[in-house]
Amino acid sequence: MYVHLQKLADAASANGNTRADGTPGFDASVDYVAQTLRDKGFDVETPEFDRLAMTSPGRPTLAVSGRSFPVVQASPLASTPVGGLAGTTLRPQRASGCAAGDYGSVNVRGAFAVVDDTGCSVVDKQNAAVGRGAIGVLVVSDPDEGGSPAGLFTPGYYQRLTSPVAVIDDAADAALRRTTADARLTLDGKSAVVKSRSVVAQTKSGDPHNVVVAGAHLDSAPDSPGLNDDGSGVAAVLETAVRLGSSPTVTNAVRFVFWGANETGLQASSTYVAALGPTGLADVALYLDFDLLGSTNAGFFTLDGDQSGQPNPDVPAARVPAGSAGVERTLAGYLNLAGVRPADQPLGLTSDYSAFLRAGIPIGGITTGSSQRKTATQARLWGGRAGAPFDPNYRRRGDTIANVDRATLSTTGPAVAFAVGTYAQSTEGPNGVPARN
């Protein structure tokens, strides 16, 4: 694993001490991982995807009766004129506003259409409103613990929004309902669409309709070489692929994915999962995610697939895919046998595994902690310094190979290989996952 870490360190040091997506250091990282896999006989793909590169965040607002409300600019590619855009606000007869017929007799020409977040994508809502003459669209949406409604923000939606579209909350909506005066919408965020890449390779043997997917993100944070975050995960997953080989004697195929754009909005993993479609999703048995495996003040956490720990309100237990508990038991069992007692890491919606979780695919993973501070109880359990971050160099220039803890990685790296090897042999049994159909 340290051979791979050194190559990633070299890529960073030769390119301004960073491997951030969009930099030469990231491109060098992609080239190294792809070539290493090709040298071992893998057929390697480096699929491109579009991502937004923010050039100016602006200050998107909606002014109503002398009060300003912050809004979300649905697409930084579709802004208002300097100074904003003013108009009255009207609502379709059918609140979703997904088709021209939803407006009935309501004439929204020259007005903002105010619609809810149900029924269709923001693109469909825009097209219906603009087709009836609206100057822009205000989508009322206060996401619940599961995030925005499925289908509201479809892949690449921001490129198909050509008119001002803002997402407003219930407070702004209530203010609009109390007045008939014009509102002024200012959308001044600016972005550009740029290309990025991931690296994908799959074994030539094993069932291609019951695939074990293992992944780690390949990009670093800006201004960081990213050797623990997530060079450590990349090194462990890559060395697992090298040792397994391209044509192993396994029951199930194994797919290795090294994601771009983790640090800039998870576009790689979310776009990848969306592009799989129903057939591609049905072929994926489970997804294993590995991020920060060598923290210097390490904890040993497994993603909380069985929801036995303190849950994250953003991920209700009912939405955790069946089989995730078994994956957690496999990873936790290995760590216990390796001499460290694991703890639960609450599931979230801001990691590469999140797109798989939303798609109903069982997930699991290991991390040794980032900027959270180790408690006194955790220090008694794992050693290290209480009150200090698990990784004091998280997202900083100090995230170098010297600050990847060798003893920690010598435990977590083999855990990656154990989990991949276990499920490559079988996804059945008490720690297995449901059959995909």
58-188 has which fold? Answer: Glucose Oxidase; domain 1 (3.50.30)
Q: Decide if pLDDT at 316 tops 90.
A: no
DSSP code of residue 197:
E
Q: What is the mean pLDDT of the chain?
A: 94
| Beta-sheet strands, E only, within 260-332 | 284-290, 301-303
Q: How much is the pLDDT for 103?
A: 97
Determine the pLDDT at residue 145.
Answer: 47
Span of 48-52, 159-163, 329-333 with lowest mean pLDDT = 48-52
Beta strands in 224-336 (DSSP E): 252-259, 284-290, 301-303
- pLDDT for 150: 67
Reply yes or no on whether the pLDDT at 147 is more than 90: no
Instruction: Determine whether 56 is exposed, middle or buried from the number of CB atoms within 10 Å of its CB (0-12, 13-18, 19+).
Output: exposed
* 385 pLDDT above the threshold of 50: yes
pLDDT band at 332 (very low <50, low <70, confident <90, very high): very high
The answer for residues whose C-beta is within 8 angstroms of residue 50's C-beta and 6 or more apart is 156, 159, 193, 194, 195, 196, 267, 271
pLDDT tens-digit series, residues 194-252: 889 999 999 999 999 999 999 999 999 988 999 999 999 999 999 999 999 999 999 99
Percent of the chain scoring above 70 in pLDDT: 97
Segment 348-366 shows an average pLDDT of 93
Per domain, the residue ranges of the chain are 2-54+195-425, 58-188
pLDDT band at 357 (very low <50, low <70, confident <90, very high): very high
Strands (E), 143-251: 165-168, 183-186, 190-197, 199-202, 207-217
Q: What is the pLDDT of residue 155?
A: 66
> What would the two tokens of residue 305 be?
């697939």
Split at pLDDT 50, 70, 90, the class of 368 is: very high
Q: Is the pLDDT of residue 142 over 80?
A: no
Q: What is the pTM of this model?
A: 0.77
Using the CB atoms, write b or e for 314-324: b if 16+ within 10 Å: bbeeeebbebb
For domain 2-54+195-425, give the fold.
Aminopeptidase (3.40.630)
pLDDT at 183 over 50: yes
Tokens describing residue 24? 């030469």
Q: Bridge-partner residues for 201, per DSSP?
A: 44, 256
pLDDT at 157: 81
pLDDT tens track for 266-281: 788 988 998 999 999 9
